[in-house]
Amino acid sequence: MDSETTIIPCMRATIERYAMIRRGEKVLVAVSGGPDSMALLHGLHELEFPLEIAHLDHQTRAGESGVDAEFVSQCAKELGLAFHHESRAVEQEAAAAGRSFEFHARNLRYAFFLRVARERACAVIATGHHLDDRAETVLMRILRGTGPAGLAGIPPVRAQDGLRIVRPLFELTRAEIEAWLRERRISWRQDESNTDPRHPRNRIRHGLLPVLEREHNPRVREALLRLAEAQRCDNAMLDALAGPALAGCRNEQGSLDRAAFRALHESLRRRCVMQIAHERDIDIPFDRVIGASHFVATACTGQYFDLGAGVLLYNGRTRTEVMSGPPAFGGEPVLLPVPGEAVAMGQRFTARLIAMPAEADWRSYCTPRRQVFDADVAGDRLELRSWRDGDRFTPFGMTGSTKLQDYFVNVGLPAPWRRGVPLIVSRGEVLWITGHAIAARGAVTPATRRLLEIEVTPCT
């Protein structure tokens, strides 16, 4: 193939086929300095689109990433284009956030590109992903374990925050791109980490894919891309259905109606979970998507599910709360007078003395945020505090006591969240693990003469 005569026409045809860039629109080009982004930059420049350049320095490779930034800055000067640069200690930030370097770096890059594009009135962000990137991504996700969204691979156009992210090199191979750069005598920066076998993508690129081509299917890349295209088509339909389905399940506070969620087809339930995770910037594996869908639909009241990145799902009787955190608690216990109010852990606790009705359906009246107790047993001075090592209680309906730590394990509450669960303590003993179980001590019995109602509401 004559790259000199095909690269520019191929880019032009790809841009037109997928309606990537309209005439007159300004394009922010993401340029790392590598061969793909340099071909993208020079190709778009030759096609005479209005361009600006963005580069994020990851502060890696013992200072080499800073040299890349200088190289891209010089390219911008030579082409007479505006250059936007940011430098971040990505590796340290990723470790502090408990995320993988690749996932965190990608999020930072796109956040930077989107911010610059909005500030500079660019309607489009162009990245250098090409045909080989697409095939490698699909194979890598298959090996890692993925769902339908992952199998779709890299799309030619993606809308985000009112902007379009486009891939004009979508149908070009790495070999074609590098041959064109050499013919044009366009230099680029070589990132040595792209050959490091410690990275899964490099093992796929330099090891597995060549073996598959040589020993199984010489056109394996085409097969992977056909799979991605078929899945991308199906995904578009499912995503279009999932948006209204999720909107019909949740209220303004973001909690899910469990019955409405349960009534959805399992495929849509999983899509709803993926959308919730995406909204909270969670890189969620597909097995966790399946688990979360099953949890909302069928798990017991009072249980938690770890969605990832400090976000939990909590099942009430009729709704599932999506809780970000973990919540924090510090300081001395807070006094809750009876009757009266107190504020702790970002929540308001209200204690009321109410008349004892002749008959009452306490099972339907009480909720994870509202409970009733025998006022005479509870007393008139309650404390609000967090769990302490050694705390025990006897759950209502049981006779033997249990450690709170064991209780939290049994209900699936992750360790970082346990000290953020408010406890209501009466005379030194746990009366209520709010949002969870009440103690047998203090429960309403036929002998109860006065009722204490405690309600927990978020502070506004």
Percent with pLDDT over 90 in the chain: 61
Which residue is associated with the tokens 């009466």?
A: 426
Report field, pTM of the whole predicted structure over 0.75: no
Residue 98 is which amino acid? G
User: Domain check: are 66 and 160 in the same one?
Assistant: yes
Please tell me the distance from the alpha carbon of residue 178 to that of residue 159, in angstroms, as a whole number.
29
In this structure, the dihedral spanned by the alpha carbons of residues 84, 104, 160 and 32, taken in order and rounded to 10 degrees, is 40
446 near 369, Cβ under 8 Å? no
Percent with pLDDT over 70 in the chain: 96
DSSP 345-377: TTEEEEEEEE---SS--HHHH-BTTEEEEEHHH
Q: Which of 169-183, 343-357, 373-387 has the lowest mean pLDDT?
A: 343-357
Residue where a domain stops, chosen among 299, 324, 349: 324
User: Domain check: are 68 and 170 in the same one?
Assistant: yes
Q: Which of 213-217, 324-328, 395-399 has the lowest mean pLDDT?
A: 324-328
User: Domain check: are 436 and 365 in the same one?
Assistant: yes
Give the 3-state secondary structure percentages of the chain, helix then strand then coil, rounded to 5. Answer: 45, 20, 35
pLDDT of residue 5: 53
Q: In a 3-state reduction of DSSP, which class is residue 423? A: strand
Q: Is residue 241 part of a domain?
A: no
pLDDT of residue 246: 96
Q: In a 3-state reduction of DSSP, which class is residue 278? A: helix
Residue 223 is which amino acid? A
User: Domain check: are 293 and 338 in the same one?
Assistant: no
Q: Is residue 317 part of a domain?
A: yes
Residue 317 is which amino acid? R
Number of domains the chain is built from: 3
pLDDT surpasses 80 at 97:
no
pLDDT of residue 161: 87
Please tell me the distance from the alpha carbon of residue 58 to that of residue 54, in angstroms, as a whole number.
13
Residue where a domain stops, chosen among 280, 304, 324: 324
Q: Which residue, 199, 120, 200, 117, is CA-closest to 160?
A: 117
213 near 202, Cβ under 8 Å? no
pLDDT surpasses 80 at 417:
no
What are the residues facing 457 on neighbouring strands? 348
- Summarised one tens digit per residue, pLDDT across range 418-459 is 888 899 999 999 999 998 899 999 998 888 889 999 999 877
- CA 285 to chain CA mean position, Å: 10
Residue where a domain stops, chosen among 292, 324, 356: 324
User: Domain check: are 38 and 158 in the same one?
Assistant: yes
pLDDT of residue 264: 97
pLDDT surpasses 80 at 225:
yes
pLDDT of residue 13: 97
27 near 116, Cβ under 8 Å? no
What are the residues facing 169 on neighbouring strands? none
pLDDT of residue 62: 82
39 near 128, Cβ under 8 Å? yes
Q: Which of 80-94, 106-120, 397-411 has the lowest mean pLDDT?
A: 397-411
User: Domain check: are 280 and 312 in the same one?
Assistant: yes
- Look up the domain containing 319 and give its range: 250-324
Residue 295 is which amino acid? F
- Summarised one tens digit per residue, pLDDT across range 17-37 is 999 999 899 999 999 999 999
User: Domain check: are 144 and 45 in the same one?
Assistant: yes
Radius of gyration for the chain, computed over Cα atoms and rounded to the nearest angstrom: 29
Residue 312 is which amino acid? L
Mean pLDDT, range 59-65, rounded to an integer: 86
Comparing 404 with 303, the larger pLDDT belongs to: 404
User: Domain check: are 148 and 267 in the same one?
Assistant: no
Q: Which residue, 12, 85, 82, 71, is CA-closest to 38?
A: 71
Please tell me the distance from the alpha carbon of residue 285 to that of residue 289, in angstroms, as a whole number.
7
272 near 254, Cβ under 8 Å? no
User: Domain check: are 286 and 354 in the same one?
Assistant: no
pLDDT of residue 1: 47
315 near 296, Cβ under 8 Å? yes
- Summarised one tens digit per residue, pLDDT across range 236-262 is 999 899 999 999 999 888 899 999 999
Q: Is residue 95 part of a domain?
A: yes
Q: Is residue 235 part of a domain?
A: no
User: Domain check: are 23 and 163 in the same one?
Assistant: yes
- Summarised one tens digit per residue, pLDDT across range 362-382 is 777 888 889 999 999 999 889
Q: Which residue, 41, 25, 279, is CA-closest to 160?
A: 279
Mean pLDDT, range 400-413, rounded to an integer: 87
Q: How many CB atoms lie within 10 A of CB 200?
A: 14
What integer best gives the mean pLDDT of the chain? 90
Mean pLDDT, range 200-214, rounded to an integer: 93
Q: Is residue 244 part of a domain?
A: no
Helix pair 266-279, 220-249: axis angle to 10 deg: 90
Mean pLDDT, range 216-226, rounded to an integer: 96
Q: In a 3-state reduction of DSSP, which class is residue 141? A: helix
pLDDT surpasses 90 at 359:
no
Pairing of β 82-87 and β 51-57: parallel
What are the residues facing 439 on neighbouring strands? 395
pLDDT band of 328, cuts 50, 70, 90: low
User: Domain check: are 312 and 362 in the same one?
Assistant: no
pLDDT of residue 104: 84
- Summarised one tens digit per residue, pLDDT across range 133-151 is 999 999 999 998 888 888 9
Q: Is residue 174 part of a domain?
A: yes
Q: For residue 321, is it left (φ>0), alpha (ψ between -120 and 50) or beta?
A: beta
Most confident of 78-87, 96-105, 195-204: 78-87
Looking at the chain, the number of H-run helices and the number of E-run strands are: 18, 20
Q: Report the CATH number that the domain containing residue 22 is assigned in CATH.
A: 3.40.50.620
Q: Report the CATH number that the domain containing residue 292 is assigned in CATH.
A: 3.30.465
22 near 47, Cβ under 8 Å? no
Q: Is residue 233 part of a domain?
A: no
Please tell me the distance from the alpha carbon of residue 153 to that of residue 224, in angstroms, as a whole number.
9
Q: Is residue 35 part of a domain?
A: yes
pLDDT surpasses 70 at 3:
no
User: Domain check: are 193 and 66 in the same one?
Assistant: yes
pLDDT of residue 375: 93
Strand segments (E) across 75-200? 82-87, 124-126, 157-160, 163-166
- Summarised one tens digit per residue, pLDDT across range 255-301 is 999 999 999 999 999 999 999 998 887 878 889 999 999 999 999 88
